[in-house]
Amino acid sequence: MPEDVVTMDKIVALCKRRGFIFPSSEIYGGIGSTYDYGHYGVLLKTAVKNAWWNAMLGRDDIVALDSALLQHPRVWEASGQLAGVTDPLVDCRTCKARFRADHLGELACPRKPSKHPGEGPECDLTPARDFNLMFETTVGPVKESGSAAYLRPETAQGIFINFKNVLQFSRKKPPFGIAQVGKSFRNEITPGNFIFRTREFEQMEMEFFVPPAEAPEWYEHWKQARLAWYEELGLRPDHLRLREHDADELSHYSSGTADVEYLFPIGWSELEGIANRGDFDLKAHAAGSGKPIEVVEQDGTRYVPYVIEPAAGVGRSVLAFLADAYDEEDLDGETRTVLKLHPRLAPVKVAVLPLVKKDGQPELAAELHTALKRRMQAEYDEGGSIGKRYRRQDEIGTPWCVTIDHQSLEDRTVTIRDRDTLAQERVPIDDVPDLLSARLAASWTSPKAGA
Ligand code: ATP
């Protein structure tokens, strides 16, 4: 297998160059590890979220929720996050750098990068200390006692505190799930690796409530289903794996957790966690609020459901899809940079390009563009040489370019250029929308797989 040409630097550069993702507050010198998404970044990220919603709501046993970012501080007290979502932290008295105590084995000593922190001759680490990852803010204009609130560090708690509402209004009974997509905030100690770990990020989380006896079975189901989701969206199977956590890695609430991991340019890393959270959360909120949270069966039996949670990150998925898609090829002595994204994820599905800006070609191209726009994200581009326009579309991952030329005006046929094979085919212009809709719906495997 030829070596993958992708590096993190190349992805960062492409994202900037093509308007996917910019460092935030750049004109003020930036604010560490915070990013803004430009047009193509928004389209890609929206496509990822839509694919997730389709996978969730395509089933009949999952409903949607959108809970508030700010929640009652007692939510975090009950969930254990106010006290417990802490990462042990160590400082080096010599170099003043700060590290996560549980990551020392993966980090490099800033003074002697061949060593891990604590292993260099001059390292002088403090004992591990707890550090709260939640951002604190004030509700109301005056900072006074009792006005503290926290930005949510995960979307999940918003689901648990609404369990009773949903149970009542959705007419669902376990097994059923509640899905949510939204921003979460963690004051991460060591953010970095572009959008892999940021302090503000989006999550796609689903809490699946089940009768306790069915929890092991549903845990298995969701591990496989979530792995399959990434494969269906084109991530190469040899770059994906499921890794079961060891007992000493489990969170305080979990009786089983597995990560979907992707082979990023930085190595195998977590894309998504699937956890069997048991009845920890619902019981914690019942105790915290003093209100019972349980399911009552028709025969009167009561129980607290167990929860299986697949929790994914939008930015991390975007990064994985970009890394998996990035390719460079030699084309007529020049390097062609191309994003071989699954067509359903590609920010733009089709570009309509008149070969020249005259002889009626722009008009015919505009007609096709209008027809395509109704069905899919389509771009019209008449500026610059055709080669330059192809290169631009390749770099943003557009799977199809339709070229209008001299012949198109004579017989209403156009050329479709395929991003991955570079094959060109001539088809009647009126067939293009149906043809591309069918291709968009078809299954797809990465041409990089097994390359
Ligand atoms: P990690 O060990 O990488 O910090 P985690 O196990 O704490 O992640 P979870 O709490 O399970 O993460 O969150 C679920 C998902 O949310 C993660 O798999 C990841 O995709 C995403 N996520 C979590 N923290 C961040 C972050 N700081 N930046 C970007 N995405 C994140």
The per-residue pLDDT for range 389-440, each reduced to its tens digit, is 999 999 999 999 999 999 999 999 999 999 999 999 999 999 999 999 999 9
Distance 424 CA to ligand 1 centre (A): 42
User: What confidence score (pLDDT) does residue 247 get?
Assistant: 79
pLDDT of 86 over the 60 cut: no
Distance 354 CA to ligand 1 centre (A): 45
Nearest CA to ligand 1 atom 28: 197
For residues 400 and 385, the answer to whether their CB atoms sit within 8 Å is no
| pTM for the full predicted model | 0.90
Selected residue with higher pLDDT from 170 and 328: 328
Nearest to 159 by CA among 175, 178, 131: 178
Nearest CA to ligand 1 atom 3: 270
Domain boundaries, the chain: 8-83+136-322, 86-132, 348-450
- Ligand 1 pocket member 313 (CB < 6 A): yes
Q: For residues 288 and 225, give the distance between their C-alpha atoms in angstroms, rounded to a whole number.
A: 33
Which CATH code is given to the segment(s) 348-450?
A: 3.40.50.800
Q: What is the pLDDT of residues 251-303, one digit of tens each?
A: 767 788 999 999 999 999 999 999 999 999 999 999 999 999 999 998 999 99
pLDDT band for position 63 (50/70/90)? very high
Distance 313 CA to ligand 1 centre (A): 6
Peptide bond before residue 310 is cis, with ω within 30 degrees of 0: no
User: What confidence score (pLDDT) does residue 2 get?
Assistant: 52
User: What confidence score (pLDDT) does residue 85 get?
Assistant: 47
Nearest CA to ligand 1 atom 2: 270
pLDDT of 35 over the 90 cut: yes
**What would you report as the CA-atom Rg of the chain, rounded to the nearest whole angstrom?**
25
For residues 338 and 346, the answer to whether their CB atoms sit within 8 Å is no
Give, in words, the CATH class of 8-83+136-322. Answer: alpha beta
Distance 186 CA to ligand 1 centre (A): 9
**% of the chain surpassing 70 pLDDT:** 97
Of 24-28, 129-133, 295-299, 341-345, the one with minimum mean pLDDT is 129-133
Using a 10 angstrom Cβ sphere, with 0-12 exposed, 13-18 middle and 19 or more buried, the burial of residue 15 is buried
